[in-house]
Amino acid sequence: MSHQLSDRINNLPISQTLSMAAKARELKSQGIDIISLSLGEPDFNTPDFIKEAAKQAIDANYNSYTPVDGYLELQEAVCRKFIRDNGINYTPNQIVVSTGAKQSLANVAMVLLNPGDEAILPAPYWVSYEAIVNLCEAIPVVISTNIEQDFKITPEQLETAITPKTKLVFFNSPSNPSGAVYSKQELRALADVLVKHPHVYVISDEIYEHIIYEGSAFSMAAFDDMYENTITINGLSKAFAMTGWRLGYLGAPQWIAKACTKMQGQITSGTNCITQRAAITALDAPVSKIKYMVDEFKERRNLVLNLLQDIPGFITKNVPGAFYFFPDVSYYFGKTVQGQKIENATDLSMYILEKANVATVTGDAFGTPNCIRLSYATSRELLVEAIGRIKEVLEI
Ligand code: PMP
Ligand code: GLU
């Protein structure tokens, strides 16, 4: 039988973060002792006070379809959160709750991008940004950075990348995969470029805002002159250890929010009603309630930094946010390691999987082919074991 899938799906790459995680799971199920540093997923349980809210919602018979853009009480809680943590004023009709920040991102791209429009992706960028832009038949315009510039773009690079066809800039601070965080001054310098180009909109993906160890995150939409051109995206997955509950949200000018609601009204409807009720409790809680997770991530960050800096050929700098390291491993390209030729980061990542039984993600997935990504959202014991194994198999 011949299969006749659309060009759209045939041209869509599989998410490399998810496929590496699936590969690790499969090898594990075959009895192989795999340690996965591939997936960016907190290893904590969802905090009890949020689980309690979900249990109460089930008992209170929350079981019906919700408004497509989320319960009003949740939109109000999101508004309170945006004021409290980010200094951004949104009203509930500017908030759209979705099935994860991933859907929020896709919604915005789908409602703003026409075929042929350009979308700027500062690299390294999160894996799904490029796929989403391609799905919209828009053109990804990549701004490359490197570890010397801490993987942050400069205002000059941004200015050069903007053309009359630019519609969107994808912005992510703290960054997955680099862990970079832009200071308020650095963001202001980028905003100074953007305000000269009012046809350009910014998606500010702030899903790692609370996972930060030095300094603090700042929101693009908090600048008055960027408010009308910024869509702020966030979600519960990372800060509250709720990846599987599936809830993300955005704040945006009302015309964009309305369009996103129209889009998801035809595709998914509102997200899970129990998750939404639990989200009200999560977002209204003081940030101090989740600090124990951030404290633990910080300990791991310090541990992993020391371990990685001990591996010859890995260029690693300290990172202020998220839970990833993104070492430059180009030293190994063209070299033979323990009998195996390594040409690029994908080869190295596969070599490490096969020889050390440790899953990482190639930098190619993030538009930065000199690097590999290691997630440290796993226990300290496993991190020590995993990085020890990597070091061993990389001895030349
Ligand atoms: N943005 C970034 C930068 C991410 O790392 C992720 C991964 N979880 C998402 C968005 C999507 O998160 P969610 O689980 O809310 O869909
Ligand atoms: N955002 C996580 C990561 O980058 C989860 C995987 C995904 O959603 O693609 O690993």
Residue 94: CB within 6 Å of ligand 1?
A: no
Atom of ligand 1 nearest to the CA of 208: 3
- The residue whose CA is least distant from atom 3 of ligand 2 is 40
**Nearest in space to 119 (alpha carbons), one of 203, 17, 63:** 203
DSSP-assigned beta bridge partners for residue 20: none
* Mean pLDDT of the region 248-276: 98
pLDDT score of 23: 87
Of all protein residues, whose CA lies closest to atom 12 belonging to ligand 1?
101
From 127, 238, 242, 246, mutation site for ligand 2 pocket: most ligand atoms within 8 A of C-beta: 127
Residues 11-66: tens digit of each pLDDT: 998 888 888 888 889 999 999 999 999 989 999 999 999 999 999 999 999 999 99
Q: Which of 12, 16, 17 to mutate to test the pocket of ligand 2 (most atoms within 8 A of CB)?
A: 17
Residue with tokens 């963001």: 187
Q: What is the dihedral of CA 76, 81, 83, 87, to 10 degrees?
A: -150
Q: Into which CATH architecture does domain 48-285 fall?
A: 3-Layer(aba) Sandwich (3.40)
- Structure confidence at residue 65 (pLDDT): 98
pLDDT in tens, 324-377: 999 999 999 999 999 999 999 999 999 999 999 999 999 999 999 999 999 999
Q: Is 39 in the pocket of ligand 2 (CB under 6 A)?
A: yes
Cβ atoms of 206 and 87 within 8 Å: the answer is: no
Mean pLDDT of the chain: 96
Q: Give the integer Cα–Cα distance in Å for 4 and 183.
A: 49
The full set of domain ranges for the chain reads 7-45+290-393, 48-285
Ligand nearest, relative to CA of residue 16: 2
pLDDT at 20: 87
CA 10 to ligand 2 centroid distance, Å: 21
Q: Residue 86: what pLDDT?
A: 98
How many Å lie between the centroid of ligand 1 and the Cα of residue 176?
9
pLDDT at 236 over 90: yes
Burial class (CB in 10 A: 0-12, 13-18, 19+), 224: exposed
Predicted structure pTM score:
0.96
- Residue 1 pLDDT class (50, 70, 90 cuts): low
| Residue-wise DSSP of 89-128 | ---GGGEEEESSHHHHHHHHHHHHPPTT-EEEEESS--HH
Q: How far is the CA of 17 from the centre of ligand 2 (A)?
A: 6
Confidence check: pLDDT of 235 > 90 = yes
pLDDT at 2: 67
Q: Does 18 contact ligand 2 (Cβ within 6 A)?
A: yes
Q: 39 CA to middle of ligand 2, Å?
A: 6
User: 214 CA to middle of ligand 1, Å?
Assistant: 21
Ligand 2 test: best mutation among 39, 104, 178, 236, most atoms within 8 Å of CB?
A: 39
Q: Which two tokens stand for residue 75?
A: 């939109």
380 — pLDDT class (breaks 50, 70, 90): very high
70 neighbors 395 (Cβ within 8 angstroms): no
Kindly report, residue by residue over 82-134, the tens digit of the pLDDT: 999 999 999 999 999 999 999 999 999 999 999 999 999 999 999 999 999 99
Question: CATH assignment of 7-45+290-393?
Answer: 3.90.1150.10
Chain centre distance of CA 82: 19
pLDDT the model gives residue 17: 87
Residue 337 alpha carbon to ligand 1 centre in Å: 34
Ligand 1 mean position, distance from CA 394 (Å): 31
Whether residue 100 has its Cβ less than 6 Å from ligand 2: no
Pick from 6-10, 162-166, 169-173, 296-300: least confident: 6-10
Beta-bridge partner residues of 96:
250
